[in-house]
Amino acid sequence: MRVRQTGTGRCTLRTEFAMTDLARPFLSDVTTLREQARRHVAAGAVSTSYVGDVAAAIDILQAVLATEIVCVLRYTQHSIAANGISSEGVKAEFAAHAAEEQGHVLLVAERISQLGGTPDFDPANLVSRSASEYATAPDLVGMITENLIAERIAVDHYRELARYFADNDPTTRRMIETILAVEEEHANDMADLLVRHSEVNPPRS
């Protein structure tokens, strides 16, 4: 609302709203916020302001959880099974990635719990839910290649998920974006290792 001065020196009120006023998000009054918080208190973080599909979000995150668990298992197996004169540095890289993927597991599991779900750690469900595969390889280059493929799958999948959650679930979107940034680093690490070791240790036929 703006005040305009007339030619007679008197001030009149006019209901003119700037575009910035219209663009501002609606804010609930304190009383409404308090009442909403008391309703369905057992729902925890899922309040009436949550505009996403809770059931769909939990189901998607169960798949993300499975994907991250499979990544932990694959990197861990490779960190132990890798051998050869040039394997020590790569083994350490695999182990470091496994630890970071384990951190992702805990993040995703906690978010599922916050949304009212129960994180699914059942080994029987990992293969069907995971976006990436648990793949072993007989040599160092093969292991690096399988990890690079898995990271590329995760990067593409998580980019889609970040767009899916968008503003409907900003907390989950930010978590996915945080994980995505790490997976992009992992993919770059594996790509660098592949270039470095392909000539030194060509894959077995």
What is the DSSP code string of 28-75? --HHHHHHHHHTTGGGTT--TT--S-HHHHHHHHHHHHHHHHHHHHHH
Q: Which of 53-67, 73-87, 100-114 has the lowest mean pLDDT?
A: 73-87
Structure tokens at 40: 């369905």
Residue 129 and residue 155 share a domain: yes
- 20/91 same-domain check: no
Q: What pLDDT score was predicted for residue 192?
A: 95
Q: What is the pTM of this model?
A: 0.75
Helix, strand, coil share of the chain (percent; to 5):
65, 5, 30
Tell me: do 106 and 21 sit in the same domain.
Answer: no
Instruction: Specify whether 191 is located in the same domain as 139.
Output: yes
Whether residues 113 and 84 fall in one domain: yes
Q: What is the pLDDT of residue 51?
A: 79
- pLDDT in the model for residue 83: 87
Element (H, E) at 85: none
User: What is the tens place of the pLDDT at every residue in 136-191?
Assistant: 999 999 999 999 999 999 999 999 999 999 999 999 999 999 999 999 999 999 99
Give a yes or no: residue 135 inside a domain.
yes
Residue 126 CA to residue 198 CA, distance in Å, equals 31
Which pLDDT value is given to residue 85? 73
Is the same domain home to 188 and 93? yes
Between CA 41 and CA 146 the distance in angstroms is 45
Paired tokens of 31? 């009383």
pLDDT score of 61? 98
Q: Provide the pLDDT for residue 198.
A: 81
**How many independent structural domains does the chain possess?**
2
pLDDT at 19: 44
CATH code of the domain containing 189: 1.20.1260.10
- One domain, residues 186 and 87: yes
Give pLDDT tens digits for 80-105.
999 877 788 999 999 999 999 999 99
Average pLDDT of the residues of the chain: 84
Query: Length of the chain, please?
Result: 205
Residue 205 lies in a domain: no
64 & 104 share domain: yes
Host domain of residue 179: 53-198
Residues 34 and 64 in one domain: no
Residue 95 lies in a domain: yes
Q: Do 16 and 57 have their domain in common?
A: no
Give how far Cα 64 sits from Cα of 67, 157, 172, 181, Å. 5, 9, 12, 15
Domain match, 120 and 162 both? yes
| Co-location of 80 and 22 in the same domain | no
DSSP summary character for residue 124: G
